[in-house]
Amino acid sequence: GHNLDAKPNVRSFNSVLNAWAKSGHHLAPQRAGEVLDWMEDLDRNSDLKVSPDATSFATAINAFARSNAFGKAQASYEIFLHMKELYDTSGKSKLRPNAVAYNSVLNACAFSVGDFEEQSRAIEIANAMLVGLQKSSYAKPDHVTYGTYLKVINNQMPPSQSRDQIVETVFRKCAKEGMVSEMVMRQLREMGMESVCESLMGSSSWGEMKLSDLPGDWTCNVIEGKRMRRRQFRR
């Protein structure tokens, strides 16, 4: 008979997806997509119940985000929409789009490369992700969301008054929600926009502004590291 102890499960498949995502191989996005399709097919047509969960989809999205594939923002968005559709139709809690999934798409948008049309599409998708997460009833933006969104703006928009206005609006929202982290501050520094902090605080800082210089309610809800991951994947 079969060795039941060696029976593959969702965790096994997610490990394969993670290996592809981190491999740096030029076929990694394609292979990750094939693994996702395989999981869905096995779940429908075999006794092996290994339907992908939110981690599966977020990891497949990361395979695109880490690649040099053209159109990766759109491809990542389509994987996300497929996951959301599966959740909406099945109601399975393990498919519920969490902040990790949203942030993975944002990451793909931040590092999209290509022409003006590609950059514009990456910004459109990033806007949809941020607004969608803000309106979601089961997940909310965290400091990674805001930091990665600012990275999208930094990488995909040329310096302009409109870019500065977007950054200021997003930072105000981030500060109001207590989500200003070192990651968020790093993006402000890279864009030369630490003055946004100073104008909000009503004071100027000599030298590089540190998190400890900021009002406590701007940073009070930041959760980092393993503690954040446990909270995001909790069901």
**Mean pLDDT (whole number) for 128-155:** 95
Q: Are the C-beta atoms of 175 and 201 separated by less than 8 Å?
A: no
* Burial category of 11 from C-beta neighbours within 10 Å (exposed 0-12, middle 13-18, buried 19 and up): exposed
Q: Which of 5-19, 187-201, 221-235 has the highest mean pLDDT?
A: 5-19
The residue among 198 and 170 whose pLDDT is bigger is: 170
Q: Are the C-beta atoms of 51 and 10 separated by less than 8 Å?
A: yes
pTM of the model: 0.88
Q: Which has the minimum average pLDDT: 17-31, 163-177, 219-233?
A: 219-233
pLDDT tens-digit profile of 184-226? 999 998 998 877 777 777 666 545 677 888 889 999 999 876 4
Give the C-alpha separation, 172 to 150, whole Å: 12
Q: What single-letter amino acid sits at 186?
A: R
Cα dihedral angle (211, 213, 214, 219), rounded to 10 degrees?
30
Give the C-alpha separation, 76 to 101, whole Å: 10
Q: Give the percent of the chain with pLDDT over 90.
A: 70
Residue (of 2, 85, 88) closest to 46 by Cα position: 2
pLDDT band at 2 (very low <50, low <70, confident <90, very high): low
Which residue bears the tokens 């930091």?
147
